Structure 1
Amino acid sequence: MPDLRLSARLRAAADSDLWYSFRTSPVTIVSALTTLVLVAAALAAPVIAPHNPFDLASLNIMNAGLPPVWDAGGEAAFPLGTDDQGRDVLSAILYGARISLLVGFASVVFSVVLGVGLGLVSGYVGGRVDAVIMRIADVQLSFPAILIALLIDGVARGLLPHDMHGEVALYVLVFAIGISGWVQYARTVRGAAMVESRKEYVQAARIIGIGPMTILWRHILPNVMGPVLVIATIHLAIAIITEATLSFLGVGVPPTTPSLGTLIRIGNDYLFSGEWWITIFPGIVLVLLVLSVNLLGDWLRDALNPKLR
């Protein structure tokens, strides 16, 4: 029986409009493959990276500033060259992408949990609770997300002891980016929850004595997750860009665990001295990652919109 059910589900998925939309869109397929390759390479960095760029014992300052292997003076041991400390750029990119993806995914999860929770409560309860949550959201929308992230990061650095900055930098960064992105989820879910809460199945659940939390969790939440999934996909690209921007400004992750943004900032100091590869290659990876995720988000938005079918 389980095998038959699994086969039936697989056949239903293969015949779905979502799968048809995916396999008939070459841009989406290329974007998905690009995202998959980049994420897989980042996760497998300890296995496939030629060197460990953060192992100080293995670094040799005599290897600093080596060009890519195809350029004059390049070495096969460092395919994309080395930075000012002699670290292999390819290995640094693979390890740095892990940090960028970790911060991006974690901040999106935090934003989803906070935004969806507040949106459900706001749309279902209404009244003063709805007014307070939405006014807070309106105030936050009047400030750019990067400014909110900078403010939170600065406050955290001011309140915490200096020797703890490196230890909690990653958590502060996730919190700062996550708290700056919850409004989109809250406003979207609030509107959907207000519509769903007036439908007959919710009224029937209330009559038979089902509690508000159960109604929100079992009945309303599954019906508002479509738009949330689309927003989360696009927000992932925004979160990665925000993390790269903060790291480029020097307020992101510590230099001992650099992300793509930190690598770009380090390489920017040597860009006009001819060592272009230190910043160009991390920049290309960042652009490819953000672009492919954005294209996937655009496709998902169109595929889940019944008006465009």
Structure 2
Amino acid sequence: MSDTKTPSRLFRLWDSDIAYSFRQSPLAIISGVVALVIILAAAFAPLIAPTNPYDPSSLNLMDGFTPPMQENAFTGSTFLLGADNQGRDVLSTILYGARISLFVGFSAVIFAMVLGITAGLIAGYRGGWVDAVLMRIADVQLSFPSILIALLIFGVARGFIPPSQRETMAIWVLIVAIGLSDWVQFARVVRGATMVEKGKEYVQAARVIGVNPIRILLRHILPNVMGPVLVIGTIGLALAIIAEATLSFLGVGVPPTQPSLGTLIRIGQQYLFSGEWWILLFPAVTLLALALAVNLLGDWLRDALNPRLR
């Protein structure tokens, strides 16, 4: 029985409107392939990377500033994308750095999504002073750039962490800072959709028969507001990755011992005008390709879930 159900489910998924829209969009296919390749390469970095850039025993300072595809005159080593100032293989640093950027991006978006959906459901369903308070907080936060809010939250949070634990907790503090700066978009969209859904007959019927409000929110309203949330989450992933890179570039992100793409770009920027262009170029191209691919996927998903465009 299960063997017959699985192919039928896969066929229905393949024959769905979203899958058809994806197959008919070359830009979405290219973006999906680029994003998938970068994500898989980062996930399997320990198996793909030529060296472990975080292992000091595998580094040789004499390999520093080796250009791409050129043999080092002292050690005879050759690196596909060159070596940085510490003699680390740039390809390996990109693969490992992308892991951190993607982890921070996904975690921050999930945190912002959970917080925003919860606030939006409560504000839209309860209304009254609860709605007024939550939305005024959202309005105040929207009046400031999200990167400044993330900087403020990051600085305040680090002030409460003992100095001995700041480096180990830096990534988690960064996730919380980015998540708290991006929850407003989710909350506003979910609030508006909840206010529409709670006036429909199926919700009114559930309230009449005494269904628990939490059950109504989770079982009836939440599934009907997830479409716009997925679109915002996809686009928010690209923004979260860029926010992490920006904070790391400014020197307030992940620690230097665990460099992300933003940290690699900051390091490469220091040597750009001295001729070592590859240290900056390849991490920057990777970040650009990842953010652009995720953004284009978000644009496609927005159009695919829009019933007016079907």
For residues 122 and 75 of structure 1, the distance between their equivalents in structure 2, rounded to whole angstroms, comes to 64
- Asked if structure 2 preserves the Cα contact closer than 8 Å seen for 1:69 and 1:76, the reply is no
TM-score (norm 1): 0.97
Q: List runs of 5+ in structure 2 lacking aligned partners.
A: none
- The residue that corresponds to 1:100 in the other structure is 101
Aligned in 2, Cα 1:139/1:208: closer, same or farther, shift over 3 Å? Answer: same
Which residue of structure 2 lines up, in the alignment, with residue 282 of structure 1? Answer: 283
Query: Sequence identity of aligned pairs in percent?
Result: 65
Instruction: Label 1:61 to 1:53 Cα distance change in 2 as closer, same or farther (>3 A).
Output: same
Kindly tell me: are residues 276 and 71 of structure 1, through their superposed partners in 2, closer, same or farther at Cα, counting changes over 3 Å? farther
Deviation for aligned residue 1:72: 8.8
Which 5+ residue runs of structure 1 have no aligned equivalent?
A: none
Residue 37 of structure 2 corresponds to 37
Pairwise CA distance, 1:237: 0.1
Shift of 1:70: 5.4
CA displacement at 1:59 relative to structure 2:
0.9
Separation in 2, partners of 1:29, 1:37: 12
Match of 1:144 in 2: 145
Match of 2:69, SS state, is coil
SS at 1:180 equivalent: helix
The reply to whether residue 11 of structure 1 matches residue 11 of structure 2 is yes
Alignment of 1:303 with 2:289, yes or no, is no
Change (3 A) 1:30 1:86: same
SS at match of 1:181: helix
Question: How many residues align structurally?
Answer: 309
**Residues 204-223 of structure 1 correspond to what in structure 2 (within 5 A)?**
204-223=205-224
Aligned to 2:59: 59
What amino acid sits opposite 1:191 in the alignment?
G
TM-score (norm 2): 0.97
Shift of 1:117: 0.4
Does structure 1 conserve the Cα–Cα contact (< 8 Å) formed by 2:70 and 2:79?
no
Q: Is the 1:260–1:286 Cα contact (8 Å) retained in structure 2?
A: yes
**Residues 233 and 296 in structure 1, CA contact (< 8 A), matched pair in contact too:** yes
- Per the TM alignment, residue 161 of structure 1 is displaced from its structure 2 partner at its CA by 2.1
Runs of 4+ in 1 over 3 A off after TM superposition: 70-77
Contact 1:244 1:259 in 2 (8 A): yes
- Look up the SS of the partner of 2:93 in the other structure: helix
Letter in structure 2 aligned against 1:14: W
| Other structure's SS at 2:53 match | coil
Task: State the match for 2:195 in structure 1.
Answer: 194
**What displacement does 1:157 show?**
2.1
Distance 2:64 2:11 in 1: 55
- The correspondence of residues 217-236 of structure 1 with structure 2, limited to 5 A, is 217-236=218-237
Cα displacement (A) at 1:208? 1.1
Note the aligned Cα RMSD (angstroms).
1.4
